[in-house]
Amino acid sequence: MKLLRKRDIPEERYTNAFLGYGPEDSHFVIELTYNYGVDKYNIGDGFGHFGIAVEDVEKTVDLIKAKGGKVTREPGPVKGGKTVIAFIEDPDGYKFELLERGPTPEPLCQVMLRVGDLDRSIEFYEKAFGMELLRKRDNPEYKYTIAMMGYGPEDKSAVLELTYNYGVTEYDKGNAYAQIAIGTDDVYKTAEAVKLCGGKITREPGPLPGISTKITACLDPDGWKTVFVDNIDFFKELE
């Protein structure tokens, strides 16, 4: 990944770094936040992983090992499937799944979150966020079902991988993973749609104090947070 941007906000005592495989105006990126003086967080057990598509999982794992990285699951076909995967962990304990795929414009391809009721989540992300159910796969042998939700095909854009483990309705969300962010043309209409679908607005739509970027924030039925950012305001911020 490349470091795309770093910004320090001393008045709020945090620093951000934005990392990804392409520019922020057209790619999914990871926003890392360092809060002054805080060096440990609880990741909990609800957040799953970020997915990264690579052309050769085995080779990537060798490189990661050579650089002293932590591999938590060796390369091999996913249990109950064919895709070659591996899991690695960053220094803060965030998990990354490496998925073997052909070349893609968006290697940073998944955010996996565990949910307590898959159909409830699918309906929410379809109706409130306008996402599409791209794929649903049940794996009875390993007692889980996944649903891929997104705005474009899995091999070309980042998707949300929702995982339901049979019988598990609640997870500890910890205090480390924060949110996904999605661009919108109208934060006010987005907030209305979220409210109509039973989502909880945690920040009413409007401009952020100090800068004019309009945002709104909400929680899904499991309490996972999403921030919507006005597209035009965001592009201006990047200029």
Ligand X SMILES: C[C@@H](O)C(=O)SC[C@H](NC(=O)CC[C@H](N)C(=O)O)C(=O)NCC(=O)O
Q: Catalytic site residues?
A: 97
Q: Is the Cβ of residue 142 or residue 188 nearer to ligand X in the bound state?
A: 142
Q: Which stretch binds ligand X (CB under 6 A): 2-10, 81-89, 176-184, 216-224?
A: 81-89
Q: Which stretch binds ligand X (CB under 6 A): 63-71, 80-88, 120-128, 200-208?
A: 80-88
Among the listed residues 23, 81, 130, 206, the single contact to ligand X using CB under 6 A: 81
Kindly state whether residue 214 participates in binding ligand X, applying the rule CB under 6 A.
no
Among the listed residues 34, 36, 142, 188, the single contact to ligand X using CB under 6 A: 142
How far apart are alpha carbons 40 and 72 in whole angstroms?
Answer: 20
Kindly state whether residue 48 participates in binding ligand X, applying the rule CB under 6 A.
yes
CA 78 vs CA 55, 100, 117, 133: distances in Å: 16, 11, 23, 21
- Please check if 126 is assigned to a binding site: no
Among the listed residues 5, 27, 73, 136, the single contact to ligand X using CB under 6 A: 73
- Backbone phi, psi, residue 12, to 5°: -110, 5
Smallest distance from the beta carbon of 85 to ligand X, in angstroms?
5
- Please check if 179 is assigned to a binding site: no
Among the listed residues 14, 41, 144, 151, the single contact to ligand X using CB under 6 A: 144
Annotated binding site: 110, 161
Name the site residues for ligand X (rule: CB under 6 A): 48, 73, 78-79, 81, 83, 85, 97, 114, 142, 144, 146, 163, 165
